Amino acid sequence: MTSGEIAKPLTQVLSPETKNIVGKLSVLFSVDSFAGGFVIQSIVSFWFFTKFGVELTTLSYIFSVAGVPTAFSFLASSKIAEEGTASQELRIYQEMSPRQYRHH
């Protein structure tokens, strides 16, 4: 892309067929991720219960407490991603307007 061209939004670049495929894959990955969390916890709970005799009530407290740092990590990762996106956008803007930034 040359400096005089304006980039099209991604929704205008993708064909309807590609949008359909991406949408289906997004739904599939969402369901997989959502269900995967339940399956892993269930298997780990079953293993602790059968191997060590840990009560399921105790395991529910452990998984609940472990979920709190996980939630905070999601918040932190979104902030980190926003900062990365902002710095990437600034770099792209600087590349598009080189004269404005080289003399400062």
Task: Summarize pLDDT for 2-22 with one digit per residue, the tens.
Answer: 555 666 666 667 788 988 998
In a domain, 49, yes or no: yes
Residue that is written with structure tokens 């064909």 in the block = 15
Tokens of 39: 């399956």
Domain around 33: 12-53
What integer is the mean pLDDT of 32-43? 82
CA 97 to each of CA 50, 101, 103: distance values in angstroms, whole numbers, following the listed order: 64, 7, 12
Q: Which residue type does 73 have?
A: S
Question: Residues 46, 59: one domain?
Answer: no
What integer is the mean pLDDT of 20-36? 87
Cβ atoms of 59 and 46 closer than 8 Å: no
In a domain, 21, yes or no: yes
* Structural domain total, the chain: 2
Confidence of residue 99 (pLDDT cuts 50, 70, 90): low
- Percent of the chain at pLDDT > 70 equals 68
In a domain, 6, yes or no: no
